[in-house]
Amino acid sequence: MKRLSILFTMLVLLGLIAACGGAAQPETVTVVETVVVKEEVEVVQTVEVEKEVVKEVVETVEVEKVVEVPAPDEPKGELIVSLSTFPNSLVLPNTAERNAYNASAQMYNALVWVNEEGRVTPALAEDFEISDDGLEYTFYLRKGVKFHNGEDFDAEDVITTWQHHIDERNAYNYYFTPIEDIEVIDDFTVKFIMSEPDVLFLRKMHLNWGMIPTDYYNEVGFEGLEAHPVGTGPFKFVDWKKGDRIEMEAFEDYWEEGLPKVAKLTFRPIPEEATRIAAVQTGEIHIANRLPVDEAQRLLGAENVKIVRYPVDRVYYISFNNLTTGIDTPLEDVKVRQAMNYAIDRQAIIDALFNGYASLTAGFVTSGNLGYDPDLEPYSYDPDKAKELLAEAGYPDGFEIGMACPTGAYTNFEQVCEAVGGYLNEVGITFEGGEIQFMESGQYWDLEANKELPPLFGDSWSVADGEALIRLSGALGGFDASYSAWSNDEIQDYLTRISGAFDEAERAALYQEFNQYLYDDPPFVYLYQPNTFEAINVAVQNYQPRAAEDYHLKEVFLAGAE
Amino acid sequence: MQRYIISRTFQSLLLLLGVLIIIFFMVRLTGDPATLMVARDAPEEVREAFREKMGFNRPMIVQFSDYLFGIVQGDFGESLHFDQPALEIILERLPATFQLATVALLFAIVVAIPIGIIGGSNPGSPLDSLGRTLGLLGQTIPNFWLALILILIFAVNLGWFPSFGRDKTISVVLPAIALGFASMGQLVRLTRSAVLEIRNEDYIRTARSKGISTLRIGAKHVFRNAALALISVISIQYSYLLGGSIYIETIFSWPGLGNLLQQAVDGRDFPLVQAIAFFISFFVIALTLLTDVVYALIDPRIRYSR
């Protein structure tokens, strides 16, 4: 009996392990964008039989037709979207991270908006002008816009919003403290006077400015607004059960005609990836965000789910140091740095660790950014050339240097660093202490901020506003920038010029030039730009995620909603 | 008896203080909270202002004594992420965690005790084998893995239960099973061995030889004596369920304390982490104290042994 029960237990265990499923084989990911409709078609055939009676046989045959689903005239249905963490706030300037932003942004508008191509376009301001020195912005406000509570939008609300947004309690108040004053020229014209020019100011407005109504704010105050947010956006706030869900519904008087297209919008925070995947399969949610590669692939065959893949505006890199720990090291020679870029087979790393789902980068200006140069080819994998360059620089046998990487910060990044280390070893570059120093991310970033990390260190930088300036100045600003370990006069010059170019076309040209310079004289080993995956219910139409992973759900609708 | 209660209460308070000290200092060893809480592209002045405002620049001892005085007055600090008093947020989430832990415990008891009793009364029978297998599985299967399997089978494939959240009444079933499974396993084994042991005691043989019915022996003697051993285990299990729900709540997106703790740890929300850790420790210690007192009341041997 005892042996039987042991056997029984082992069988149960084996069965359970088998149920887990084997490793998913890599498959190509396809994006299905149109709805496939199965229709039954009657086929009438005449069949000959022995007797001279002709019978008609009707068969039904399934035919797959691809049908473009038209958008409904009125908002219909409930769209349920998952978030991967709990939002801290639903008031736009106070949203501390992407999830909170995604929920909150559906309720607000700013004076301008950054569209899918990364260009600044009008929103609550029909038009705007920037003075040449970037210190004055004149906005011509749109008429006939209403807030969720019925108030009309005009110049006074711009002032109120400004006063609210610079409150210290907001996570991003410092975006708007450079506004020195706002002049009301008339009910629909305002002029912003800046204390210092900021070429990214309009993009910061797109990110964290949410217009709020004056009377309402005066009545309920900061906490009242947090408890029940009001804006001009396509969706208005209904309820927030903390930890459980955020409920919104369509705003009938939204100023953009014909939008939004769903009647209710609900956000459910689900921190666990596996649960998000289960929930999208059962239909409990329509959009599951931030899925890892293997899970996304496993869903490829699922009936009611389609996979959407897109590049994220984040770059991974190994930084060199010429400010502190990198002084008097071989890194000072440009050939050494170029050699290191040639020494690493980034594509192999991408294939091995991300199943091929990442893109090589040739610089910090990526495919979603202003001034991106699609013709600039990333460094190829050429270890012979790397050794040649090292020899030319005077290090035919390589050299020893310190390198560090963070743990627990980014997906698979520890393995990426190990791989990078391996490739560098192959061209003769070895590490102090014999290996890469791995550190817990909190401690790591502290050291980075003090410029105390070894001369080689790995990190990553994302931007949300469609321009690379923040990461360029952040990583290359020298002693003025916390996380920078590399700078020089030319770089500072470029940064200054870009920061002063208020004309977008001019700035785009400068980014291209700067990126080329940073390619020829690399301050980093450029690694990759990751892809992210989302699984959405097949009924979801018009869903277009952006490289900054932000959602703008006003155009989304559900096929077959009532 | 009174002396016993007083001394145990005093011990519990000391224990609570020790826990507080550990929580407070350990949570500060992982790095500067300002770097994580403030956006990375923020200028250093913003970060420094943040440190000033939160008092992170003051000496540890000063920070700790402020914290201690606050707790005594019911002020657990403000959550950095939610801009709300930590106590408020915790109280909002408590009911969900209590519900989950209670249902999990009920599941464990209702399944484990009958199987344990019958198994212990008929050692070697098929039901006994089932009981021992369950006991083994309960101790070996990780609860988070079980949670995912339950979701896969019962939510995704069969569609009988929701895969997450606390929307419907039946939403509590899968999380409770996943959470309570380990307790169930342990209770089966303990019940079984307690029953086995007691059955062989002399007083049982005496009762049987006096002609008392098996049922009466079962209810009056076997069960009551077994219950003693089980009470303390059940109370420990309950506190384990309360504090150990962090994985299950995260996986099922159950809006309780464990979920909140996971978020707080992830976001280095120090005040909230401390507050939650304190609450959970408080419940465990209080529950243990209560159990000891109840135990002493039931079993005279304990209270006279001092």
CA angle, A246 as apex, A245 and A252 as ends, to 5°? Answer: 145
Q: What is the mean pLDDT of residues A378-382?
A: 93
Q: Check CB contact under 8 Å for A272 and B250.
A: yes
- DSSP assignment, residue A146? B
Residues 136-155 of chain B with CB under 8 A from chain A are 136-137, 140-141, 148-149, 151-153, 155
Mean pLDDT score of chain A, rounded to an integer? 86
Give the minimum alpha-carbon distance from A443 to chain B in angstroms, rounded to a whole number.
Answer: 5
Q: What is the mean pLDDT of residues A232-242?
A: 93
Q: Which of A488, A484, A491 is nearest to A517 (CA)?
A: A491
A345 or A114, higher pLDDT: A345
Closest partner residue to A281 among B36, B156, B251, by Cβ? B156
Give the minimum alpha-carbon distance from B169 to chain A in angstroms, rounded to a whole number.
Answer: 15
- pLDDT for B37: 60
CA angle, B75 as apex, A167 and B281 as ends, to 5°? Answer: 125
Rounded Cα distance, B166 and B158, in Å? 19
- pLDDT for B234: 87
Which parts of A105-214 are beta strand (E)? 112-114, 120-122, 125-130, 136-141, 179-186, 189-194
**B163 touching A, CB under 8 A?**
yes
Which parts of A99-166 are beta strand (E)? 112-114, 120-122, 125-130, 136-141
**B41 touching A, CB under 8 A?**
yes
- pLDDT for B36: 60
Residue A256 and residue A500 in contact, taking contact as beta carbons nearer than 8 Å:
no
- pLDDT for A338: 94
**Among all residues of chain B, which has the CA nearest to that of A275?**
B251
Per residue in A388-421, pLDDT tens?
Answer: 999 999 999 989 999 999 998 888 899 999 999 9
Q: Is the pLDDT of residue A19 over 60?
A: no
**Among all residues of chain B, which has the CA nearest to that of A482?**
B44
Q: What is the mean pLDDT of residues A229-239?
A: 95
**Among all residues of chain B, which has the CA nearest to that of A18?**
B149
Q: Is the pLDDT of residue A23 over 50?
A: no
Report pTM. Answer: 0.78
| Phi, then psi, of A56 in degrees rounded to 5 | -100, 125
- pLDDT for B139: 87
CA angle, B132 as apex, B128 and B136 as ends, to 5°? Answer: 170
**Among all residues of chain A, which has the CA nearest to that of B257?**
A243
Give the minimum alpha-carbon distance from B52 to chain A in angstroms, rounded to a whole number.
Answer: 13
Per residue in B128-156, pLDDT tens?
Answer: 898 899 999 998 999 999 999 999 999 99
Q: What is the mean pLDDT of residues A424-434?
A: 92
Give the minimum alpha-carbon distance from B163 to chain A in angstroms, rounded to a whole number.
Answer: 6
> Which helix (H) or strand (E) segment is A218 a member of?
helix A214-227
Q: In this structure, are strands A403-407 and A456-462 parallel, antiparallel, or unpaired?
A: parallel
Rounded Cα distance, B231 and B298, in Å? 11
Give the minimum alpha-carbon distance from A87 to chain B in angstroms, rounded to a whole number.
Answer: 8
Q: Is the pLDDT of residue B49 over 90?
A: no
Rounded Cα distance, A182 and A173, in Å? 16
A442 or A135, higher pLDDT: A135
Q: What is the mean pLDDT of residues A309-319?
A: 90
Lowest mean pLDDT among A24-33, A89-98, A435-444, B201-210: A24-33
Rounded Cα distance, B33 and B274, in Å? 14
End-to-end CA distance of chain B: 10
Closest partner residue to B155 among A171, A271, A278, by Cβ? A278
Q: Check CB contact under 8 Å for A278 and B251.
A: no
Which amino acid belongs to residue A331? L
ipTM of the complex: 0.79
**B273 touching A, CB under 8 A?**
no
Interface test with A, best of B83, B88, B167 (most A CBs within 10 A): B83
Q: Is the pLDDT of residue A63 over 70?
A: no
10 Å CB burial of residue B202 (0-12, 13-18, 19+) is: exposed
Q: What is the mean pLDDT of residues A299-311?
A: 84
Per CB-CB distance under 8 Å, the chain B contacts of A482 are 44
Q: Per-residue confidence at A545, pLDDT binned at 50, 70, 90?
A: confident
Q: What is the mean pLDDT of residues A375-383?
A: 93
Rounded Cα distance, B302 and B290, in Å? 14
Q: Per-residue confidence at B35, pLDDT binned at 50, 70, 90?
A: low
Q: Evaluate the omega torsion of the peptide bond into residue A260 and state whether it is cis, within 30 degrees of 0.
A: yes
Strand order across the A189-194 sheet? A125-130, A136-141, A189-194, A179-186
Per CB-CB distance under 8 Å, the chain A contacts of B35 are 442, 445-446, 449
DSSP state letters, B73-86: TT---B-TTT-SBH
Per residue in B52-87, pLDDT tens?
Answer: 877 777 887 888 888 888 888 888 888 877 778 889
Rounded Cα distance, B177 and B143, in Å? 9
Q: Per-residue confidence at B254, pLDDT binned at 50, 70, 90?
A: very high
Exposure string of A441-463, with b = 16+ CB inside 10 Å and e = fewer, is bbbbbbbbbebebbbbbbbbbbb
> Which helix (H) or strand (E) segment is B37 a member of?
helix B33-37
Rounded Cα distance, A326 and A524, in Å? 13
Side-chain half-sphere CA neighbours of A425 within 13 A: 11
Instruction: Count the Cβ atoms, other than its own, within 10 Å of residue A74.
Output: 9
Give the minimum alpha-carbon distance from A42 to chain B in angstroms, rounded to a whole number.
Answer: 33
- pLDDT for B31: 60
Residue A101 and residue A83 in contact, taking contact as beta carbons nearer than 8 Å:
no
Closest partner residue to A442 among B36, B42, B149, by Cβ? B36
Give the minimum alpha-carbon distance from A449 to chain B in angstroms, rounded to a whole number.
Answer: 9
Using CA of residue A16, residue B165, residue B278, residue B49, what is the dihedral sign?
positive
Residue A459 forms beta bridges with which residues? A317
Q: Is the pLDDT of residue B47 over 90?
A: no
Rounded Cα distance, B198 and B201, in Å? 5
Q: Is the pLDDT of residue B223 over 90?
A: no
Q: Check CB contact under 8 Å for B259 and A4.
A: no
Q: In this structure, are strands A264-269 and A245-250 parallel, antiparallel, or unpaired?
A: antiparallel
- pLDDT for B216: 72
Give the minimum alpha-carbon distance from A46 to chain B in angstroms, rounded to a whole number.
Answer: 43
Residues 173-212 of chain B with CB under 8 A from chain A are none
**Among all residues of chain A, which has the CA nearest to that of B124?**
A1
Per residue in B1-29, pLDDT tens?
Answer: 778 888 889 999 999 999 988 887 776 67
Side-chain half-sphere CA neighbours of A210 within 13 A: 30
Interface test with A, best of B27, B28, B35, B91 (most A CBs within 10 A): B35
Closest partner residue to B42 among A174, A279, A282, by Cβ? A174
Per residue in A150-199, pLDDT tens?
Answer: 999 999 999 999 999 999 888 888 889 999 999 999 999 999 999 988 88
Per CB-CB distance under 8 Å, the chain A contacts of B251 are 272, 274-275
**Most distant CA pair in chain B, distance:** 86
Q: Is the pLDDT of residue A491 over 80?
A: yes
- DSSP assignment, residue B116? H
- pLDDT for A24: 37
Mean pLDDT score of chain B, rounded to an integer? 84
Rg of chain B over Cα atoms, rounded to whole angstroms, equals 24
Rounded Cα distance, A305 and A328, in Å? 56
Give the minimum alpha-carbon distance from A169 to chain B in angstroms, rounded to a whole number.
Answer: 8
Per CB-CB distance under 8 Å, the chain A contacts of B133 are 5, 8-9, 12
Q: Check CB contact under 8 Å for B35 and A449.
A: yes
Report CA A518 to chain centroid distance, whole Å: 24
**B67 touching A, CB under 8 A?**
no
Side-chain half-sphere CA neighbours of A232 within 13 A: 26
Q: Is the pLDDT of residue A32 over 60?
A: no
Closest partner residue to B81 among A88, A270, A445, by Cβ? A88
**Among all residues of chain A, which has the CA nearest to that of B156?**
A282
Q: Check CB contact under 8 Å for A284 and B162.
A: yes
Instruction: Count the Cβ atoms, other than its own, within 10 Å of residue A48.
Output: 9
**B31 touching A, CB under 8 A?**
yes
Rounded Cα distance, A102 and A115, in Å? 15
Q: What is the mean pLDDT of residues A520-531?
A: 93
Q: Is the pLDDT of residue A41 over 90?
A: no
Q: Check CB contact under 8 Å for B163 and A284.
A: yes
Rounded Cα distance, A551 and A545, in Å? 6
Q: What is the mean pLDDT of residues A225-246?
A: 93
Q: What is the mean pLDDT of residues A351-369?
A: 88
B201 or B105, higher pLDDT: B105
Residues 76-95 of chain B with CB under 8 A from chain A are 81-83, 89, 92-93
CB pairs under 8 A between A and B: 122
